[in-house]
Structure 1
Amino acid sequence: MTALKKIADYIVNNDIEHAYNTIINIESDYWNNADYWNLRGVLCLKIGEYKAAIGCLEKALSIDPKNGDIYFNYAYALENIGNNSDASLYFGFSYRYSKDSDLKDDILSKYEHQEALKNIFITAASEIRKSFIILSSCGWGDIYQRMHHIAHSLAKLGHDVYYVSPSTIINVDNSENISSLVLTNHSFKNMKMVDGVKIYTPISAICGQRMVCNNYIDVVQRLVDTVTQTEKIVLTYMPYQVNVINSLKGDFFHIYECVDDHSDLEYAFWGNKHDIIWEQELMDRADAITTTATSLFLQRVSIEERKNVYLSRNAVNERDFIFTNNEHIPDDLKHIPEPRIVYSGAIYEWFDMELFYEIVNSNPDKSFVIIGFGKNELFKENCPNLYFLGTKKHSDLKNYLRHMQIGIIPFKENTDIIINCDPIKQYEYIACNIPVITTFMPESALGKINTILANHKDSFNKAIQKCLSLKLDDHLISDYLSENSWNERAALLCRISDNLISIQEKDATLSGIGESLEYLVNHYDSPIFITLKAVFDNLKNNMDFESFARKAYDIEKLKYIEKQYLFSLIRNNNISTFVEVVRKSVYIKNEIKQELLYRIKTNELDNIKAISYLCVGDVKTFLELIARLPDKHNILLYDAYINYMLNGSVNVEVMHHHAGLIDSPLYIFLMKFNN
């Protein structure tokens, strides 16, 4: 009888001592033997040492990565520490590689009533290896955003993942020897690998104040050309990346992940005036579009009438927030008294400082902890119960959050960028078993557990008191994390690229959104929630769209609400009311208002229709409509205005040919701008 057979018999007969002694005695002889590490892992499972078992089984899989039995044991260990999404993924691999038909039958029935885990399992069990080229909006570091998590999960699913960071800038003294080929060779030579993800950094070479070479497109093109054995999927995240997509040669499936409102340049400081056009072009070029927020989804589906859009909210990695008993409170937190109320994340102008300080000052017996990055100078007031701990690595975040009592997200709820966002930090708070208080952000109220909405000092303080006495349900949290994992989001991308999303699944998504919005409207006093319900109703009834949008507009004339109300009036051809709303607007530029009124006075219907879309920021439709105008002078005028909007300049020579339009407010405005 071999040593491994003896160990197996000892384990079956529950002879733990002899199994352990034999394993230790033969360790050096079997160090590179997958069966040895599998048995060692099984022994750890037998005695409930799941963390040790995971280490042993990972070693076994590194030696034999196509062993269904090892994957089964590994998945079982993960399941026992509460990492259900990873467990479903590796049970999928077990099903794929196992030769045991009875075992496969048992695994197949495991997720009949858990849709999210079932999708992960089926994707892992049946997925054909693909190559994902991720054009990220941020580099690879210690702080993780959506694209980092997506990359990790796609790699776990067995795909080749190529992560392209934004270009890094280098200064060169002499540009003669700089070429895109030289830079691209350097980018590939300096590729780094993290957890199965290959990370490439393109280069912008600067000589003096002049950019002499940028190899971003060449890096992506080389990746597209290099991948020949598998299907290629390119993921984009930023509007300007349409220029990359337009330049690429070869076959690939393109998914645009829409994660922000790129039209809100007041708060989307990373944006460009051209984004409003680039994003529409990028979506037109995409084979599929995902959105992280319901408002973005409805904008694409209900307003823009796109058919290839999928809702893919943000998520969390269970593994990143599993606690062990040997994790100690960090030194910079231990002396901060409880109860601790934390904000973790980016700090920019969308953070509601006025509300935040009202809450801090009205709760002197509670500690408010800031863990974040960005514009810390926005915190202008020093308070004895306010503590700044700076930026923390993603891997360290759980050690801080687990010692908090409440997580908060005090964002300015009336800004477009917040209406269209789905904060990852909310998922991370929930994963750390702490209740959450947010302002009236739509996505924070849709399908989120252990969350209370509050948008002024008194309601926030009441929510704090309620949260401090709240008893959380561990099973509810576990189910929520299983349903909202990055593995599930990555599996969705795979299913989209394989055209596996059924009409019934799409209809179920819409039905769920409708039911959730109905609940929000009935339970919260928020005109923004009413507006979202109005946009949803537009899918079935234009008049309901206008009716609900008017109701919201009458309550509060916010930018987002006004824009959707104007869209409803365009849909229903209600020109008189449209003009009335435009006339009162504080968001629409005066020269556009005056041009609309002028064209109404001259009864130029084609011009009126085009300018109406410009009033709501739909530049794409505006450009399509002006191209059809019968008067070429009007076309030149409106093209000149768009050039002014995007580039801040006007072609004087072209403008002088507009003498026949001297009464046009836009013409007068542009001529004054030149002078």
Structure 2
Amino acid sequence: MSWAGPYQYDIGKSRDAEATPAEVVFDPKVPTLLCLSHLRWSFVYQRPQHLMTRFARDFNVLFLEEPIATEADQPWLEVRPAENDVQVLIPRLPDGCTGEAAERVQKGLVDGYLDRLEVKDLLLWFYTPMALSYAEHLKPRVVIYDCMDELSAFRGAPPELIEREKQLLERADLVFTGGYSLWEAKRELHDNAHPFPSSVDVEHFASARDRRADPEDQAAIGRPRLGFYGVIDERFDIELVGSVAELRPDWQFVLVGPVVKIDPADLPRRNNIHYLGAKTYDELPSYLGGWDVAIMPFAMNESTRFISPTKTPEYLAGGCPVVSTPIRDVVRTYGDTGIVRIADTTQAFVEAVEASLDDAADRERLLETADQILGEMSWDHTWTLMKEKISCAM
């Protein structure tokens, strides 16, 4: 079947689900930043959302997701305006439209929409090197690669990703990384690479310090509570959580977040482990405010070798002591702070939690230390520094 176009663009609504139509905000007098992402805008609020909503103050921001299958006979582009003036673009491809055909269709959808908006001044921002397959022909003023993770180490990564990243590194004018370990790896491959580790919206998470009423699904859970929020996937050490929960049945484990790329049946099931599912970004402080200790039980494997978890400063902003496995960037940034404790075995994790419960009891010292650590560690600060680098490259 041919999918040569012309293509359709549905603005402000989806054919597959009810959505409230909204005005598409586009100012032809300012440059357009096209962000090419492997992450869904509406999945988990993290680095791309923090940065793109801020860049939308200076650019027309288009956030292009990976395609989703449609029952329609012809491909089309869903344009879903999101909060803070970011337009979310979702290619909808018919079943059977895969491989090179899918790449040609996505190229046509992107070209058509940029032509429709009469974009003259373009910047490209890559989160996934795989997007080169349909965006390599574009002629932007600046190409930015924000390498937030070592994607090739993740479960299910396409085999051609490593080669595509090599091509992207040759094309990019600027490379940003999500942590120092990742920067140490990428600076050998690009002479204009800069580390921008995880930042935090301090005001948002500081509301957890008020310790208001618990959300309904957390209110009945006893104490002490050990909490985690984030994606539960191959980076999460489910065996460690199960072992600690077995050793300390009096501790309650509150795990907030979607389960992805692992079988839910493999998760440890005990009376003191509570899976509360995914929550919105706005809801997270209300859960964090009800925890005694925040935990980061990451598995020590290839997928976590270069991570710099955003949740570390978020937990601290919320006034919660932290226990983490020895993730390299966590150790180097927070390991000597006294309120982020590192544990590499089940018994060490238990002992670190016990010490953290003492930290939580000395709340005045905990909050004072957390504020000293956070300093200028804000997304606004990161955004400002990134803008300076981009201005120099333009």
Please tell me the TM-score bracket, short chain as reference: 0.7 to 0.9
User: SS of the residue aligned with 2:187?
Assistant: helix
Q: Does 1:359 align with 2:244?
A: yes
Query: d(CA) in 1 for partners of 2:199 and 2:112?
Result: 31
User: SS of the residue aligned with 1:351?
Assistant: coil
| CA contact 1:203–1:215 (8 Å) conserved in 2 | no
- Equivalent pairs counted in the alignment come to 355
Partner of 2:134: 244
Deviation of 1:451 (Å) = 0.9
Partner of 1:151: 52
Structure 2 CA distance for partners of 1:500 and 1:192, relative to 1, 3 Å: closer
Query: d(CA) in 1 for partners of 2:47 and 2:351?
Result: 32
Deviation of 1:492 (Å) = 2.6
Q: Does 1:404 align with 2:291?
A: yes
Query: d(CA) in 2 for partners of 1:420 and 1:481?
Result: 21
Deviation of 1:301 (Å) = 2.0
| CA contact 2:211–2:289 (8 Å) conserved in 1 | no
User: Deviations for 1:260-313, whole angstroms, at most 9, x for unmatched residues?
Assistant: 22332xxx12410011111111111101111112222111224x3x21100011
Q: Does 1:346 align with 2:231?
A: yes
Query: d(CA) in 2 for partners of 1:247 and 1:286?
Result: 13
Deviation of 1:224 (Å) = 4.8
**TM-score normalised over the length of structure 1:** 0.49
Q: Does 1:425 align with 2:311?
A: yes
Structure 2 CA distance for partners of 1:481 and 1:500, relative to 1, 3 Å: farther
Bigger mean CA deviation after superposition, 310-319 or 228-237 = 228-237
Partner of 1:315: 199
Match of 1:203 among 83, 92, 107: 92
Deviation of 1:348 (Å) = 1.9
Query: d(CA) in 2 for partners of 1:314 and 1:152?
Result: 16
Query: d(CA) in 2 for partners of 1:291 and 1:308?
Result: 11
| CA contact 1:137–1:165 (8 Å) conserved in 2 | yes
User: SS of the residue aligned with 1:263?
Assistant: helix
User: SS of the residue aligned with 1:255?
Assistant: strand
Structure 2 CA distance for partners of 1:430 and 1:130, relative to 1, 3 Å: farther
Query: d(CA) in 2 for partners of 1:141 and 1:251?
Result: 27
Deviation of 1:234 (Å) = 1.2
Deviation of 1:327 (Å) = 4.4
Q: Does 1:443 align with 2:329?
A: yes
Partner of 1:488: 381
Deviation of 1:159 (Å) = 2.9
Aligned amino acid, residue 238 of structure 1: T
Higher percent of residues as strand: 2
Equivalences for residues 85-124 of structure 1 within 5 A: none
Query: d(CA) in 2 for partners of 1:392 and 1:197?
Result: 21
Aligned amino acid, residue 134 of structure 2: V
Match of 1:280 among 139, 145, 166: 166
User: Deviations for 1:326-374, whole angstroms, at most 9, x for unmatched residues?
Assistant: 9421111111111100121122233222222221111122111111212
Partner of 1:160: 60
Deviation of 1:444 (Å) = 1.0
Match of 2:81 among 170, 179, 192: 192
Structure 2 CA distance for partners of 1:373 and 1:251, relative to 1, 3 Å: closer
Deviation of 1:227 (Å) = 6.6
Partner of 1:333: 218
Query: d(CA) in 1 for partners of 2:144 and 2:99?
Result: 33
Deviation of 1:131 (Å) = 2.8
- Aligned CA RMSD, in angstroms, stands at 2.8
| CA contact 1:154–1:487 (8 Å) conserved in 2 | no
Query: d(CA) in 1 for partners of 2:211 and 2:224?
Result: 22
| CA contact 1:131–1:227 (8 Å) conserved in 2 | no
Equivalences for residues 456-475 of structure 1 within 5 A: 456-470=345-359, 471=362, 472-475=365-368
| CA contact 2:224–2:292 (8 Å) conserved in 1 | yes
| CA contact 2:81–2:88 (8 Å) conserved in 1 | yes
Structure 2 CA distance for partners of 1:230 and 1:481, relative to 1, 3 Å: farther
Structure 2's unaligned 5+ residue stretches are 1-28
Partner of 1:546: none
User: Larger relative CO (CA 8 A, sep 6+): 1 or 2?
Assistant: 2
Query: d(CA) in 2 for partners of 1:406 and 1:286?
Result: 41
Higher percent of residues as helix: 1
User: SS of the residue aligned with 2:323?
Assistant: strand
Aligned amino acid, residue 207 of structure 2: F
Structure 1's unaligned 5+ residue stretches are 1-127, 502-675
Partner of 1:659: none
Structure 2 CA distance for partners of 1:220 and 1:489, relative to 1, 3 Å: farther
Q: Does 1:386 align with 2:287?
A: no
| CA contact 2:155–2:234 (8 Å) conserved in 1 | no
Structure 2 CA distance for partners of 1:207 and 1:462, relative to 1, 3 Å: closer
User: Deviations for 1:615-647, whole angstroms, at most 9, x for unmatched residues?
Assistant: xxxxxxxxxxxxxxxxxxxxxxxxxxxxxxxxx
User: SS of the residue aligned with 2:93?
Assistant: strand
| CA contact 2:186–2:193 (8 Å) conserved in 1 | yes
Query: d(CA) in 1 for partners of 2:383 and 2:216?
Result: 36
Partner of 2:41: 140
| CA contact 1:129–1:230 (8 Å) conserved in 2 | no
Structure 2 CA distance for partners of 1:263 and 1:209, relative to 1, 3 Å: closer
Query: d(CA) in 2 for partners of 1:209 and 1:294?
Result: 36
Query: d(CA) in 1 for partners of 2:358 and 2:168?
Result: 48
Aligned amino acid, residue 240 of structure 1: M
Deviation of 1:475 (Å) = 4.2
**TM-score normalised over the length of structure 2:** 0.81
Deviation of 1:253 (Å) = 0.6
Partner of 1:514: none
Deviation of 1:464 (Å) = 0.8
User: Deviations for 1:190-244, whole angstroms, at most 9, x for unmatched residues?
Assistant: 4323122122222212269999766432343345556778853211011212223
Deviation of 1:423 (Å) = 1.4
Specify the structure having the higher radius of gyration (Cα): 1
Q: Does 1:217 align with 2:107?
A: yes
Equivalences for residues 496-515 of structure 1 within 5 A: 496-499=389-392
Equivalences for residues 561-580 of structure 1 within 5 A: none
User: Deviations for 1:80-109, whole angstroms, at most 9, x for unmatched residues?
Assistant: xxxxxxxxxxxxxxxxxxxxxxxxxxxxxx
User: SS of the residue aligned with 1:433?
Assistant: coil
